[in-house]
């Protein structure tokens, strides 16, 4: 239960914006243990998404080490990273990012195209996760025919279908109303408690953060357990 | 690698599935490339048809003689005495009456109004002896009869009748100050002579005030291998200043200059249009890619590699280009193939009538051109889609 699954050591991330250099993260250290549900909060522009992208292997640090499940992913090249993401990470976005031309079922099957398995096996797995998110009856619908909350549940199913060791969610309820947000948070909490999924979630919503097991605040490039006053 | 290709196909299938929503923009590629391929195909089909018309004519055992320094009949002149020397040389085939199979011919052009535009164009008028038909393998009178020697009578080629006004049976044509009655229509198997009118050579020399001069001689050798020997014999007599070539070579030469011009012109227009089509394709693919920037970034976030993303976008533009190539090529095939036109043969300043020939080779090269355009149009947008960092793609949508 308390093995570290993700470790950031002295991580620095800066962007070059023309001639200006913006230091978003500096000397940042973080350890996330297996089975944790971490909520990451902080003001807009503080670097939460940047941090999440580093953990998910979608971006690389300027300096420092990013170790996930014993692998130094900051040392991988783009191709290795893509393969690694396919095998180990599930991503949930604020705006769901479902492919509009595919049905819910096909959207969920999508990541499985990167795995060796038969079409029948893909269908079966997708159906299983759609059942977990309680959308079996909407499997044939396209995203445009689903509500925001339903779309986000499809997106969560898509993130789960490969059984990743780490689920990263960037403001998963940011586009949803209160009750729908609660529903989604309830689902994430279930995934964490009952299915043992490690989740790192960025959110602005304190009520959403309450569902997490830990909360960290990011401000001016530093992490703390206390919200800045 | 195999996995990457499978991924690419999977993404391409998804992209093509969304093509329906982007029909308008995508048709820019199809139509643009169809236009390029259509124009190039049309011009090449014209060159092809022209070449085949001229090259279709001729036998290897027949010789065409023009005066030295002339490459065409317009500028050539051979006097009667030289004709007599040449026709008495050995190696020339003979007919049943043992006369040499040789045809000295007078060649002039005359202004005749065209049926389509009613404007005058040059029609070749050929003064011939009775040996002339024998030296055109497929010569046949298809209507009326042969002209009679010593009379102002004319037979006209099948294409000439279609092309020019006032050549119908029985009509009287005024050509260069003399009157000719059309008494027959002939064909020569679809080659260039069908665009001409034929009259008696002696009458022509008088009517056109040519003295005792001919423009060309055609003759048949006993065998095609006798050519070198015949040339050697020609060259021994210093009074004979002629340029002799196999009939097949003569026609090839005649066709080359113009078909090269047509081809060059076709490629020049094609090139300009191709540049336009490439920009059209680039633009379409850039907007297709930017419209799907989030989709593409999402796929990459899920673990799809850059190579499949690039390949899938290329595949889409190639498929659109292929559609354009097929549309342009087949369009031209159905519109133009076999369509008869006439053009100025700039070697002789006379009309040559020929068909457009949209050959399978032309269709194939049209498709190759289309695919090249699609490749160029798709590559840059595809690379951009694959290069932009995932985090950036999500940030600014
Ligand atoms: N690709 C980039 N190029 C330049 N600057 C960037 C880039 N990505 C992020 N930044 C900058 O880094 C800082 C942190 O951005 P990030 O998106 O991580 O913030 P965030 O905490 O997720 O904010 P929000 O709550 O608004 O989503 C911002 O100042 C942003 O402008
Ligand atoms: Mg953010």
Residue B108: pLDDT above 70? yes
- A222 pLDDT exceeds 90? no
Q: Is the CB of residue A49 below 6 angstroms from any atom belonging to ligand 1?
A: yes
Looking at the fold, whether B106 and B173 belong to one and the same domain comes out as yes
Neighbours of ion ligand 2 (CB under 5 A): A 49
What secondary structure does DSSP assign to B312-339, as a single string?
HHHHHHHHHHHHHHHHHHHHHHHHHTT-
Condensed to tens digits (0 to 9), the pLDDT of residues B170-179 reads 999 988 889 9
Q: B227: which 2 tokens?
A: 């050519």
pLDDT at position B19: 78
Between strands B153-157 and B178-187, the pairing is: parallel
Do B265 and B215 belong together in one domain?
A: no
Residues B363 and B392 in one domain: yes
- Stretch B246-275: mean pLDDT: 81
CATH number of the domain enclosing A80: 3.40.50.300
Taking alpha carbons only, the member of B280, B281, B285 closest to residue B309 is: B285
How far apart are the C-alpha atoms of B74 and B72, rounded to whole Å? 6
Query: Closest approach of chain B CAs to the CA of A141, in angstroms?
Result: 15
- Domain co-membership, B96 together with B187: yes
Q: Is the pLDDT of residue B32 over 50?
A: yes
| pLDDT > 50? residue B196 | yes
| Chain A residues in contact with B294 (beta carbon < 8 A) | 95, 97
Evaluate if residue B288 carries a pLDDT over 50.
yes
pLDDT for residue B248: 86
- Looking at the fold, whether B390 and B363 belong to one and the same domain comes out as yes
Does residue B153 fall inside a structural domain?
A: yes
Asked if residue A160 belongs to a domain, the reply is no
Range of lowest pLDDT (A141-145, A171-175, B44-48)? B44-48
Question: What CA–CA distance (Å, rounded) separates B355 from B192?
Answer: 11
How far from each other are the two terminal CA atoms of chain A, in whole angstroms? 33
Within a domain: B64: no
Q: Is A45 in the pocket of ligand 1 (CB under 6 A)?
A: yes
Count Cα atoms within 13 angstroms, Cβ side, for B161.
Answer: 19
Range with lowest mean pLDDT among A212-216, B78-82, B235-239, B371-375: B235-239
Summarised one tens digit per residue, pLDDT across range A157-179 is 999 999 999 999 999 998 899 99
By residue range, what is the domain housing residue A78? 4-101+166-224
Domain containing B310: what range? 2-55+254-396
B196 assigned to some structural domain: yes
Q: Which of B168, B172, B122, B129 is nearest to B353 (CA)?
A: B122
Same domain assignment for residues B198 and B156: yes
Model confidence band, residue A137 (pLDDT cutoffs 50, 70, 90): very high
Which of the two residues, B163 and A32, has the higher pLDDT score? A32
3-state secondary structure at position B122: strand
Q: Which residues pair with B120 in a beta bridge?
A: B113
State whether B279 and B208 are in the same domain.
Answer: no
Q: Min CA distance, A68 vs chain B (Å)?
A: 16
The candidate with the shortest Cα–Cα distance to B42, out of B375, B266, B207, is B266
Residue at a domain's end among B240, B270, B302? B240
Percent of chain B topping pLDDT 90: 35
Contact by Cβ (8 Å): B36, B370:
yes
pLDDT at B29: 83
pLDDT (0 to 100) of residue B349: 41
At B129 the pLDDT is 92
User: Per-residue confidence at B353, pLDDT binned at 50, 70, 90?
Assistant: low
CA atoms within 13 A on the CB side of A134: 9
Q: Is residue B380 part of a domain?
A: yes
Which pLDDT score, from 0 to 100, does residue B362 have? 87
**Cβ A133 vs Cβ A153: under 8 Å:** yes
Q: Which token pair is B168?
A: 């119908």
B76 and B166 in one domain? yes
Report if residue A207 sits inside a domain: yes
The residue among B199, B215, B240 that closes a domain is B240
- Nearest CB among B6, B301, B304 relative to A58 is that of B301
> 3-state DSSP call for residue B132?
helix
The domain total for chain B is: 2
Q: How far apart are CA B358 and CA B169, in angstroms?
A: 33
Confirm whether B298 is domain-assigned: yes
Is there a contact between B10 and A79 if contact means CB atoms under 8 Å apart?
no
Above 70 in pLDDT, residue B1? no
Q: Which atom of ligand 1 is nearest to the CA of A46?
A: 21
The chain-wide mean pLDDT, for chain B, equals 85
Contact B373, B323 (CB under 8 A): no
**Angstroms from B303 CA to nearest CA on chain A:** 4
Whether B304 is in a domain gets the answer yes
In a domain, A119, yes or no: no
- Confidence band (pLDDT; 50, 70, 90) for A141? very high
Taking alpha carbons only, the member of A83, A82, A8 closest to residue A47 is A8
Do B217 and B85 fall within a single domain?
yes
In this model, does residue B213 exceed pLDDT 50? yes
Residues B138 and B95 placed together within one structural domain of the fold: yes
For the beta carbon of residue B269, count every other beta carbon within 10 angstroms.
15
B179: Cβ–Cβ under 8 A, 6 or more apart, which residues? B152, B172, B173
Residue B107 shares a structural domain with residue B221: yes
Residue A38 lies in a domain: yes
How far is Cα B78 from Cα B239, in angstroms, rounded to an integer? 11
Mean of pLDDT values over B189-195: 79
Higher pLDDT, A170 or B40: A170
Do B20 and B121 share a domain, yes or no?
A: no
Tell me whether residue A61 is in a domain: yes
Contact indicator for A107, A143 with CB cutoff of 8 Å? yes
Over chain A, what is the mean pLDDT?
Answer: 92
Q: Is the CB of A186 under 6 A from ligand 1?
A: no
pLDDT in tens, A77-117: 988 999 999 999 999 998 899 988 889 999 999 999 888 88
Which candidate, B108, B115, B335, places its Cα nearest to that of B199?
B108
Quick one: chain A helix, strand, coil %, rounded to 5?
A: 40, 30, 35
Q: Measure B388 CA to ligand 2 centroid, in angstroms.
A: 18
Instruction: Say yes or no to pLDDT of B142 above 50.
Output: yes
B352 pLDDT above the threshold of 70: no
pLDDT in tens, B120-130: 888 999 999 98
Q: What is the mean pLDDT of residues B379-388?
A: 85
Q: Residue A160: how many CA atoms within 13 Å on its side-chain side?
A: 25
B384 in any annotated domain: yes
Residue B270 lies in a domain: yes
Q: Specify the number of domains making up chain A.
A: 1
């Amino acid at each position: 239960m308390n093995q570290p699954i993700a470790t950031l050591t002295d991580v620095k991330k800066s962007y070059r914006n023309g001639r200006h250099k913006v230091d978003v993260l500096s000397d940042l250290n973080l350890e996330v243990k297996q089975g944790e549900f971490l909520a990451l909060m902080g003001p807009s522009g503080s670097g939460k998404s940047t941090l999440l992208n580093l953990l998910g292997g979608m971006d690389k640090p300027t300096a420092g080490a990013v170790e996930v499940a014993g692998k130094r992913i900051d040392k991988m090249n783009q191709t290795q990273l893509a393969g690694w993401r396919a095998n180990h990470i599930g991503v949930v976005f604020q705006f769901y990012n479902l492919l509009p031309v595919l049905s819910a079922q096909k959207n969920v099957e999508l990541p499985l195209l990167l795995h060796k398995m038969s079409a029948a096996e893909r269908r079966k797995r997708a159906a299983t996760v759609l059942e977990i998110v309680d959308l079996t009856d909407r499997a044939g619908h396209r995203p445009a025919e689903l509500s925001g909350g339903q779309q986000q549940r499809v997106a969560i199913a898509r993130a789960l279908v490969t059984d990743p060791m780490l689920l990263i969610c960037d403001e998963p309820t940011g586009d949803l109303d209160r009750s729908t947000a609660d529903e989604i948070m309830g689902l994430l909490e279930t995934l964490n408690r009952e299915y043992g999924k490690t989740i790192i979630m960025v959110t602005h919503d304190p009520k959403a953060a309450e569902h997490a097991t830990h909360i960290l605040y990011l401000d001016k490039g530093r992490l703390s357990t206390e919200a800045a006053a | 690698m195999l996995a990457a290709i499978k991924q690419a196909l999977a993404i391409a299938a998804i992209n093509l599935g969304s093509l329906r929503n982007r029909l308008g923009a995508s048709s820019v590629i199809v139509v643009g490339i169809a236009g390029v391929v259509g124009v190039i195909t049309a011009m090449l089909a014209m060159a092809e048809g022209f070449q085949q018309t001229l090259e279709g004519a001729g036998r290897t055992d027949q010789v065409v003689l023009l005066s030295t320094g002339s490459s065409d009949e317009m500028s050539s002149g051979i006097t009667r005495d030289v004709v007599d020397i040449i026709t008495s040389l050995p190696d020339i085939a003979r007919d049943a009456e043992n006369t040499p199979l040789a045809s000295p011919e007078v060649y002039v052009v005359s202004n005749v109004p065209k049926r389509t535009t009613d404007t005058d164009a040059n029609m070749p008028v050929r003064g011939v002896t009775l040996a002339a038909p024998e030296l055109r393998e497929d010569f046949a009178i298809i209507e009326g009869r042969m002209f009679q020697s010593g009379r102002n009578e004319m037979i006209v080629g099948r294409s000439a009748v279609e092309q020019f006004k006032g050549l119908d049976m029985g009509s009287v044509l005024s050509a260069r100050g003399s009157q000719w009655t059309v008494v027959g229509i002939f064909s020569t198997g679809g080659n260039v002579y069908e665009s001409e009118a034929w009259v008696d050579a002696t009458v022509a020399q008088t009517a056109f005030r040519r003295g005792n001069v001919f423009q060309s001689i055609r003759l048949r050798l006993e065998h095609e291998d006798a050519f070198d020997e015949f040339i050697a014999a020609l060259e021994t007599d210093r009074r004979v200043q002629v340029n002799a070539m196999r009939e097949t070579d003569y026609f090839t030469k005649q066709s080359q200059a113009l078909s090269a011009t047509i081809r060059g012109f076709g490629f020049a227009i094609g090139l300009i249009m191709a540049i336009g089509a490439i920009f059209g394709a680039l633009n379409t693919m850039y907007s297709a890619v930017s419209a799907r920037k989030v989709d593409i970034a999402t796929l990459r976030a899920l673990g799809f590699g850059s190579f499949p993303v690039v390949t899938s976008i290329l595949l889409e533009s190639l498929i659109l280009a292929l559609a354009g190539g097929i549309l342009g090529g087949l369009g031209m095939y159905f519109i133009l193939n076999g369509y008869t036109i006439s053009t100025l043969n700039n070697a002789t300043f006379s009309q040559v009538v020929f068909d457009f020939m949209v050959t399978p080779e032309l269709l194939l090269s049209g498709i190759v051109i289309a695919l090249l355009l699609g490749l160029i149009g798709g590559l840059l947008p595809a690379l951009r889609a694959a290069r932009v960092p995932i985090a950036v793609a999500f940030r600014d949508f």
